[in-house]
Chain A
Amino acid sequence: MSTIDQSISQSERVAVPIWGDNAPNIRRFWELILSANKRIIAQIFVAQTIASIALLGLPITLSVLLKELIKLDTSNAVNYQKIAVLILLFLFFELLYFQCARFCSKAQTLSGTTIRHTAMMCLYEHLLHHSKKFTHKTQSGALTSSLMEAAHAITAGLWIVIMDLWPTLLITVLATLLIFAIDPIIGSVVVVWCVAFSYFTLSAAKRRNNLAKNASKTNTGFVGKLSDIISNSYIVRSFTAVNTERNRLLKSYQESIDEESHYTWQSHKDRFRLDASSHLFRIIAIVGATYWISGSDFNIVELLLIVLLTNLSIRTATQGTLKMDRFLQINAEIYPALDNILKQHDIKFPEASDISVTDKPDLAVQDITFSYLGTDKTINGINLTISYGQKVAVVGSSGSGKSTFSDLLLRQYDVGTGEIVFGSTKITDLPQAVLYRLIGSVSQSTLLFNRSVFENITYGQTSFTMDDVIRVAEQTNCHEFIAELPNGYETLVGESVVAH
């Protein structure tokens, strides 16, 4: 337990990276994540290198060992000492590999959590600053799953690079070099094959990328539709539309599966090509080597080494390429997810500045226009001045622009033309915190947090006591019903509450 607490407190020390002035994009996201965790990544890199070398030492030791043993079998002069040393060497390589692998997976466990944590916070921060214009267009369920997926995928992607791609590359190269040293012809065949193989597989994977993107996009769309139906589940049942909705949902899911199966089918075909080429190659290499060696001076060590090393390099090359493929796929999955979140903020608030606004500013609205879609003007030339202390009511039939007007005052949207001025400062010059300190608002749709009543009322201010809260509740006429709730002020309100 104590190690865990320790590691958590360590992980907390990794500061949440900040986007800075640069436009948020996926590349920048990678940079942020990498730079926040560079030390542990370097350590794993080294450990993986040692492990790969140990893994390569095994077949070499084994071949030499077998040669000694055959001597014994054919009752030539036997060197028992050498056999013992070789078995010990084999043991050493095994243990070395084991230790390194152990270190790596431990490091991965520790920092994997940290990396995911950083990634999530990074995205969350950005997400919370989006305007109403943005949130209107996107479903919160889809956004949330994008965020979770992106954070998960970036961690997975990073691990594939360090834990899989690097060692497989190293092993393939070293094994090929060894084969080359034994027999240059077989060696060069292996080299040619490895290069050609990875080239073709990766270019196929790249082509598949678009398919993967589509698949992930339709899946996100499907999840959005599902969550829409679930949040309106009452209507579905009350209008006896369960069957219609199920068919609708299944249709949308079928689309998502179809997109996905375009991808899986393509990758299945690619996988077959890959399998076929590695099988054929192995047949050629092994059969070739057999005849080659059986025709010349036969050397059992060389034959074994070639068989074992070819097997090893083919296996690692295949694995590595598959992992690379997976990596590209993850990247393709991250892409739309991040793309959803990492939009430039529509409404840019200035950074905190020395602009000071009087505590009691007058409000001046000068000839503002606004339209949602660029066609009909929802707000068409409002001019008015409200001095501090006035109580003003805005009335009108629904759809006349009352709510839009208040959204403009809250800078949920920016005006098309004209100015809104508080005191002597334009609304666009006010930092976010200053603007929202000036305005408190109660909106028509009562969106509450799924937290306790107490938390919903105090919302983030820790300084309020229960007495303060009760006083406010009494003023707004809700103390009575809260007091009657099962847990009083500690009752959880549920999601987007529609209380009885």
Chain B
Amino acid sequence: MKRTDGNLNFWGVIKLLALPMKYQIAKALSAQITAQLCQLGQAFSLAWIVRELLRFYYYSPGSSEKLDLSFGVICFVLFSLVELVSRYLSGTFISTLQSNIKTLILEKSFSKLMTHSNDYFTSKSTGKITSGISGLPKEMSNLIDIMFMDMIPSITIALIAAIGLAFVSPIISVVLLVWFFLFQGVGIYCAVIRVPLHSNSSKMRGEAFGNIMNVVECQQSTRQASKVEYERLRLGKILDVWDRENMLYSFSSETARVYQSLFVTLFKIIMIAMLSGLLMVGWIAASEFFLAYLVINIVIRNVQSSVDRLVDLFRIHSRIQNSIATIFFESEIPNTGTINDFSPNHIHLQMKDVSFTYTGTTERLFEDLNLAFKSGERVAIVGSSGSGKSSLMKILVRTNDVSSGAITMNDTPIKDLTIDNLNTLISVVPQNPSLFNRTIMDNLKIGNADATFEDIIEATKKANCYDFIMSLPKQFDNEIGEKGSSLSGGQAQRLSIARALLKDAPIMIFDEATSSLDSISETNIQSAISRISKDKLVLVISHRLSTIKDFDRILVMEKGKIIEQGNHDDLIGRESVYHSMWNAAV
């Protein structure tokens, strides 16, 4: 597959984040390394003290030399204090870095997410996408934590310790290094083979999340069908699969951990035996034995905890990769248009030889469809469900792209416009009102952020919802609940219409936008639509034929084809599908 800017892999994202943060990263790094150096320095000072003590009491008792430990003690104190300070600094640097990175990644991933098509959002559950996006900053911050608090310190400490010990005894240093690399290698190998196991497990976690969220949403149906027990068993089964995947993963981690600690134990035993041997043959002094023991302990502690976290590292890596894979890829609707200031007064919209097939299906919905609309027209589209009315709207607003043919506005293909530009030209009232869990005012301002209060009142009056808003306790400041759940279906639709009116775009599309309204409200809104639409192009999909009777043109669709066209009087005057639909309705 061709790599484009839209497709980013793990390293791409890391680069995206690390470049603006390089100074912060350098600061954090140097503070951490200083702290590690000081830790080893303390061990050296302690060993120096022991050496002096031994020399004084054991090797040359009664010599005239005075016992002077002040050098070792001062070094110990200094190292200890510097370690403390650099730990404090590195903590500060790392947490600043973390919060900066978190904001940055959220911004980037959200912007990317919003470029994806409608199909993307309908094919993935909201819960999955949400947990992907909200998990990404968290995981990034964990990644920083592991890298800076465990991985880098453990590697530096092992290398520095090996160099230091080389002065004492090159053999110990070599054994330490060999062990370190072997241990890391085995650790990495173990972690890598577990990555697929882990991603299975986290996939199941997402599944469980999506399922729970879906059931919680539909919870009223569950209770009304007396199926709480059923849902519980169902979740139980899903959890069982997750448990199983999780255990496969945990067991493999378990085995790996066993081998790793066996490795450490053996190393310690070998080291002690070897040090004892070296001491016995007189190659090292007792103080050096002590020094080596202290240093090796420090190294083991650091390396072991870092290898323990290798698993976390790979786990986080695969989680980040999953999130990245769900978000950072080329949008299905390529936003390659360059025109972004297209705002003609009069629009002539044309569909030329348009064919369209839904992705994942083989059947052609539209074949060589030709249509033309212009500003000032009011067009209604009718037809039985599944006839392609909504799909026609979808290819107009580019939530789906045509398979072949072109849609043009004043002879400019809409593909040449930026998506944002296209969207400013078209205002859609979808069948499903899709409201935000915010105040009514906030929901309306989505339509036009700069609208004045007067504009808003006017739009709500036109959409016939002013009165009900004023009857609410907090009026425009009322919260409306998730997906507008505290409103009735009709109220939600009217708000959604008011929102679209505020946008004031030259093309307005109403996709069964008044289906939940009583006929009086619907008539009021229809007349409002007629009033505002003198110079606009209005496309309406409707089931209630009475409301579109006065439209300039009525298109009757069946199986993706326009089978009849004309105004009401034309169509009703002859033997037509429209005629029979009209008779059935009235």
Do B248 and A4 have beta carbons less than 8 Å apart? yes
Asked if B546 is at the interface (CB within 8 A of a chain A CB), the reply is no
Asked if A426 is at the interface (CB within 8 A of a chain B CB), the reply is no
A373 to B239, CA, bound (A): 39
Asked if A354 is at the interface (CB within 8 A of a chain B CB), the reply is no
User: Given A227-B130, A239-B503, is A234 in contact with B430 using a C-beta cutoff of 8 Å?
Assistant: yes
Asked if B13 is at the interface (CB within 8 A of a chain A CB), the reply is no
Min CB–CB distance A326 → chain B (angstroms): 13
Do B360 and A486 have beta carbons less than 8 Å apart? yes
Q: Which residue from chain B places its CB closest to the CB of A117 in the assembled complex?
A: B239
11 residue pairs from A and B, CB less than 8 Å apart? A74-B59, A87-B276, A109-B253, A139-B437, A223-B130, A239-B427, A376-B471, A397-B518, A398-B468, A402-B488, A447-B220
Among B137, B243, B268, B279, contact of A69 (Cβ-Cβ < 8 Å): B279
A106: B residues at CB distance < 8 A: 254
A444 to B487, CA, bound (A): 12
B282: A residues at CB distance < 8 A: 73
Among A73, A83, A110, A260, contact of B286 (Cβ-Cβ < 8 Å): A73
Do A109 and B251 have beta carbons less than 8 Å apart? yes
Asked if A287 is at the interface (CB within 8 A of a chain B CB), the reply is yes
Asked if A20 is at the interface (CB within 8 A of a chain B CB), the reply is no
Min CB–CB distance B260 → chain A (angstroms): 11
Among A136, A282, A439, contact of B80 (Cβ-Cβ < 8 Å): A282
Among A124, A138, A229, contact of B212 (Cβ-Cβ < 8 Å): A124
Min CB–CB distance B460 → chain A (angstroms): 14
Do A398 and B521 have beta carbons less than 8 Å apart? yes
Min CB–CB distance A66 → chain B (angstroms): 7
Q: Mark A222-237, 1 if CB is under 8 A from B, else 0.
A: 1111111111111111
User: Given A74-B59, A124-B232, is A229 in contact with B436 using a C-beta cutoff of 8 Å?
Assistant: yes
Name 20 extra pairs, CB < 8 A, besides A268-B92, A376-B473, A448-B218.
A4-B251, A113-B243, A117-B243, A223-B134, A230-B133, A232-B434, A234-B430, A235-B436, A237-B114, A240-B424, A264-B95, A287-B77, A294-B69, A398-B488, A399-B491, A439-B224, A443-B220, A496-B217, A498-B122, A500-B386
Do A398 and B489 have beta carbons less than 8 Å apart? yes
A129 to B222, CA, bound (A): 9
B227: A residues at CB distance < 8 A: 459-460
Q: Mark B32-67, 1 if CB is under 8 A from A, else 0.
A: 000000000000001001100110111100000001
Among A16, A230, A484, contact of B126 (Cβ-Cβ < 8 Å): A230
Asked if B431 is at the interface (CB within 8 A of a chain A CB), the reply is yes
A101: B residues at CB distance < 8 A: 261
Asked if A178 is at the interface (CB within 8 A of a chain B CB), the reply is no
Do B224 and A410 have beta carbons less than 8 Å apart? yes
B127: A residues at CB distance < 8 A: 141, 144, 227
Asked if B338 is at the interface (CB within 8 A of a chain A CB), the reply is no
A118 to B220, CA, bound (A): 24
Do B106 and A287 have beta carbons less than 8 Å apart? no
A448: B residues at CB distance < 8 A: 218
Asked if A7 is at the interface (CB within 8 A of a chain B CB), the reply is yes
A244 to B451, CA, bound (A): 14
Do B243 and A228 have beta carbons less than 8 Å apart? no
Asked if B7 is at the interface (CB within 8 A of a chain A CB), the reply is no
The 3 A-B pairs with the shortest beta carbon distances in the complex, nearest first, are A398-B490, A460-B230, A227-B130
A348: B residues at CB distance < 8 A: none
Among B58, B103, B218, contact of A74 (Cβ-Cβ < 8 Å): B58
A135: B residues at CB distance < 8 A: 216, 219-220, 485
A127: B residues at CB distance < 8 A: 216, 219
Do A450 and B520 have beta carbons less than 8 Å apart? no
Min CB–CB distance A102 → chain B (angstroms): 5
Do A83 and B276 have beta carbons less than 8 Å apart? yes
A363 to B265, CA, bound (A): 77
Do A399 and B490 have beta carbons less than 8 Å apart? yes
The stretch among A42-50, A180-188, A270-278, A379-387 that forms the contact with chain B is A270-278
Among A70, A128, A230, A410, contact of B219 (Cβ-Cβ < 8 Å): A128
Q: Which residues of A contact B (CB under 8 A)?
A: 3-4, 7-8, 11-12, 16, 62, 65-66, 69-70, 72-74, 83, 87, 90-91, 94-95, 97-98, 101-102, 105-106, 109-110, 112-114, 117, 120-121, 124-125, 127-130, 132, 135-141, 143-145, 147-148, 222-242, 244-246, 249-250, 253-254, 257, 260-261, 264-265, 268, 271-272, 275-276, 279, 282-283, 286-287, 290-291, 293-294, 298, 300, 303-304, 307, 372-373, 375-376, 395-399, 402-403, 410, 412, 432-433, 436-437, 439-441, 443-445, 447-450, 459-460, 480-481, 484, 486, 494-496, 498, 500
Min CB–CB distance A372 → chain B (angstroms): 7
Q: Which residue from chain B places its CB closest to the CB of A276 in the assembled complex?
A: B84
B49: A residues at CB distance < 8 A: 290
Asked if B1 is at the interface (CB within 8 A of a chain A CB), the reply is no
A300: B residues at CB distance < 8 A: 53-54, 58, 286
A260 to B482, CA, bound (A): 26
A422 to B123, CA, bound (A): 43
Do B114 and A236 have beta carbons less than 8 Å apart? yes
Asked if B354 is at the interface (CB within 8 A of a chain A CB), the reply is no
A433 to B87, CA, bound (A): 61
Do A66 and B243 have beta carbons less than 8 Å apart? no
Q: Which residue from chain B places its CB closest to the CB of A278 in the assembled complex?
A: B84
Within 8 A of A (CB), among B92-131: 92, 95, 99, 102-103, 106-107, 110-111, 113-114, 116, 118, 121-123, 125-127, 129-131
Do B88 and A275 have beta carbons less than 8 Å apart? yes
Min CB–CB distance A377 → chain B (angstroms): 12
Do A98 and B286 have beta carbons less than 8 Å apart? no
A141 to B214, CA, bound (A): 9
Q: Mark B381-396, 1 if CB is under 8 A from A, else 0.
A: 0000110001100100
Do B122 and A494 have beta carbons less than 8 Å apart? yes
Q: DSSP majority for the B interface?
A: helix
A229 to B280, CA, bound (A): 72
Q: Mark B475-489, 1 if CB is under 8 A from A, else 0.
A: 000000111011011
Asked if B181 is at the interface (CB within 8 A of a chain A CB), the reply is no
B261: A residues at CB distance < 8 A: 98, 101-102
Asked if B144 is at the interface (CB within 8 A of a chain A CB), the reply is no
A449: B residues at CB distance < 8 A: 214-215, 218, 221
Asked if B397 is at the interface (CB within 8 A of a chain A CB), the reply is yes
Q: Which residue from chain A places its CB closest to the CB of B262 in the assembled complex?
A: A98
Do A261 and B276 have beta carbons less than 8 Å apart? no
A276: B residues at CB distance < 8 A: 84
Among B129, B273, B516, contact of A230 (Cβ-Cβ < 8 Å): B129
Asked if B228 is at the interface (CB within 8 A of a chain A CB), the reply is yes
Asked if B140 is at the interface (CB within 8 A of a chain A CB), the reply is no
A233: B residues at CB distance < 8 A: 113-114, 116, 118, 121
A496: B residues at CB distance < 8 A: 217
A224 to B481, CA, bound (A): 11
Asked if B529 is at the interface (CB within 8 A of a chain A CB), the reply is no
Asked if B334 is at the interface (CB within 8 A of a chain A CB), the reply is no
B438: A residues at CB distance < 8 A: 228
A395 to B517, CA, bound (A): 11
B53: A residues at CB distance < 8 A: 290, 293-294, 298, 300, 303
Asked if B316 is at the interface (CB within 8 A of a chain A CB), the reply is no
User: Given A69-B289, A235-B446, A244-B449, is A87 in contact with B223 using a C-beta cutoff of 8 Å?
Assistant: no
Among B239, B250, B385, contact of A112 (Cβ-Cβ < 8 Å): B250
Q: Mark B238-254, 1 if CB is under 8 A from A, else 0.
A: 01100110111011011
Asked if B213 is at the interface (CB within 8 A of a chain A CB), the reply is yes
Min CB–CB distance B512 → chain A (angstroms): 11
Asked if B447 is at the interface (CB within 8 A of a chain A CB), the reply is yes
A125: B residues at CB distance < 8 A: 228, 232
A320 to B364, CA, bound (A): 66
Among A249, A275, A459, contact of B110 (Cβ-Cβ < 8 Å): A249
A231 to B127, CA, bound (A): 9
A3: B residues at CB distance < 8 A: 251
A129 to B240, CA, bound (A): 23
Do A261 and B95 have beta carbons less than 8 Å apart? yes
User: Given A7-B247, A228-B482, A447-B221, is A237 in contact with B228 using a C-beta cutoff of 8 Å?
Assistant: no
